[in-house]
Structure 1
Amino acid sequence: MQPDLQVLVQEIRQIAREEILPRFEHIGFAVKQDGSLLTEADLATNQRIATFLLQQWPDIAFLSEEMEREEQARLLREAEALWCLDPLDGTSNFAAGIPLFAVSLALFQRGEVVLALTYDPVRDEMFTAQRGRGAWLNGQSLRCQPSEFQLCNAVAIVDFKRLSPALKQALMTNPPYGSQRNLGSCVLEWAWMAANRGNLYLHGGMKLWDLAAGSLILAEAGGYAATLQGEPVFVAALAPRSVVISPDPVLFAAWLGYLQAQQ
């Protein structure tokens, strides 16, 4: 039996509003070994959510971005049911005073995402999904819609991190789209694609907690996603995965075709 999504929604919203928002623009940060940033808000949110999940569902294991890699790998090998948390995605934005960041939580069962939520506390937007039951934004059904854009005038959200030099050069010198953005929060970018905010998306290599919840939210909203190699994005593993997305099937095929031709 799956956890009650509404119980999760209420608690995650409360924790984020109590632990993240009061610290926004008021605290500093530290630099982790991999060069990414860590703030007091990451740690406090991580602890609150971990404690809540363990109290409510003690039989479900817990994996977080803030754990050591060896422990993350062990949990992925051994746990049949597993929470996967990113307590604050977009930490660099948070530390710089840019209001684009979110909490993201996914539930894996036997290596498959079955429940997901992404919460943007600044806008009070809660994106949720359950496998086979749909996706929602603040309780309203999310459905990806075809656009009237062609590739040449589409709005693309592109993160150049981990893209090949050849693909970076092609996108910088002769982009196939009309204009380009970058939010700086992977989990929000998945959610915004599911909500038809933008036409195209590309990231060179996301980590598991960046893509787990979003992959289900987008899929349940009817969107399209693949790696640059045309494979499914979600794999219950720690190695980074490239991500290509569009809410529109025609644009998705054209976008993926263009990207693969540059490899």
Structure 2
Amino acid sequence: MINFVFNQPSQWQQLKNGIRQLAKSEILARFEQVGFEQKADGSLLTEADTEMQKQTQRFLARNWPEFAFLGEEMSLEQQKKALCSPQGCWILDPVDGTSNFASGIPVYAVSLALMMNGELVAGLVYDPDRDEMFAARLGQGAELNDQRLVAQTPKRLLKQTSGIIDFKRLTPELAFQIIQDNPYASQRSFGSVALDWAWLAAGRGHIYIHGSQNIWDYAAGLLILTEAGGKSCTLEGEAVLLPQIKKRSAVAATTPELFKQWADYLKI
């Protein structure tokens, strides 16, 4: 089915071009130009989120009407219904990193994945500020701005790595352990889950841990890292992808060797 959807390079390019254009007009054009409101869960919402979701849904419905659509800003009932579609489902986070976006911090992205039969088959993470399009299709590798992307780094030891660490969503015990042990060379937290995964695939960080991600946060980035050759699992040692509206932890690394060391440290 994935070959049917994207069997022509022109269709794949059409998807990437469409998302790039929409992100520039609906997100980038509003950067530092709009206010925000707070949602019930404490996260932020801006006009860029709502307009990007609305316009992306229209674009996808025009070109691939056979697939259902799940957007972060939809109701839980609508999201669950979309995931049950037998044909497949688009999964969109219109602005991943809204807190950064609303604060004038240029670290945010749009994340779009296509899931069919409970499997991720295509994914895009587009950073409009840097004009970087990370993309992947199942079994066909990953790419960055149409160039092959392979997850690699000269770092060989855990102690040499840069860790992308989200302490906020870890248990206090695990967070304290990591802070106390300092098992890496340096630590970062960027505020965009989608870019965390994509930058890990690009070797801009080497190990990763996050305690709680929604499927729209991680779906596209997970496929990109996997297709680039990186490795991941949950803190319980399970596959990160769960085709449900249920938050998941994530542990990942740029290379299999670093992943093993990181997982061993975490006792997974």
Instruction: Tell me the SS of whatever aligns to 1:108.
Output: strand
Q: Distance in 2 between matches of 1:222 and 1:154?
A: 17
State the Cα distance separating 1:180 from its structure 2 match: 0.4
Among 201, 207, 212, the alignment partner of 2:214 is 207
Deviations 1:185-242 (A, max 9, x none): 0000100011111111110111000111011111110111111111111111111111
The question of 1:8 aligning with 2:11 is answered no
Q: Which amino acid aligns with 2:5?
A: Q
Q: Which amino acid aligns with 2:93?
A: D
| Gap regions ≥5 residues in structure 1 | none
Q: Contact 2:133 / 2:144 at 8 angstroms: preserved in 1?
A: yes
Q: Contact 1:146 / 1:249 at 8 angstroms: preserved in 2?
A: no
State the Cα distance separating 1:259 from its structure 2 match: 1.5
Q: Contact 1:106 / 1:114 at 8 angstroms: preserved in 2?
A: yes
Select between 75-84 and 244-253 the one with higher mean Cα deviation: 75-84
Alignment match, 2:162: 155
State the Cα distance separating 1:146 from its structure 2 match: 4.5
Deviations 1:66-96 (A, max 9, x none): 1111211122234431100000000000001
Among 11, 29, 35, the alignment partner of 2:36 is 29
Alignment match, 2:245: 238
Q: Contact 1:142 / 1:221 at 8 angstroms: preserved in 2?
A: yes
Q: Contact 1:29 / 1:38 at 8 angstroms: preserved in 2?
A: yes
Instruction: Tell me the SS of whatever aligns to 1:161.
Output: helix
Q: Distance in 1 between matches of 2:40 and 2:76?
A: 12
Alignment match, 1:52: 59
Alignment match, 2:132: 125
The question of 1:141 aligning with 2:141 is answered no
Alignment match, 1:260: 267
State the Cα distance separating 1:172 from its structure 2 match: 1.9
Alignment match, 2:104: 97
Identity across matched positions, percent:
50
Alignment match, 2:205: 198
Distance 1:108 1:197, change over 3 A: same
The question of 1:185 aligning with 2:192 is answered yes
Structure-2-length-normalised TM-score? 0.94
Q: Distance in 1 between matches of 2:162 and 2:64?
A: 41
Instruction: Tell me the SS of whatever aligns to 1:38.
Output: strand
Instruction: Tell me the SS of whatever aligns to 2:59.
Output: helix
**1:37-116 correspondence runs (5 A):** 37-116=44-123
After superposition, the CA RMSD in angstroms is 1.2
Equivalent pairs counted in the alignment come to: 261
Structure-1-length-normalised TM-score? 0.96
Alignment match, 1:165: 172
Deviations 1:41-62 (A, max 9, x none): 0011111100111111111110
Alignment match, 2:224: 217
| Gap regions ≥5 residues in structure 2 | none
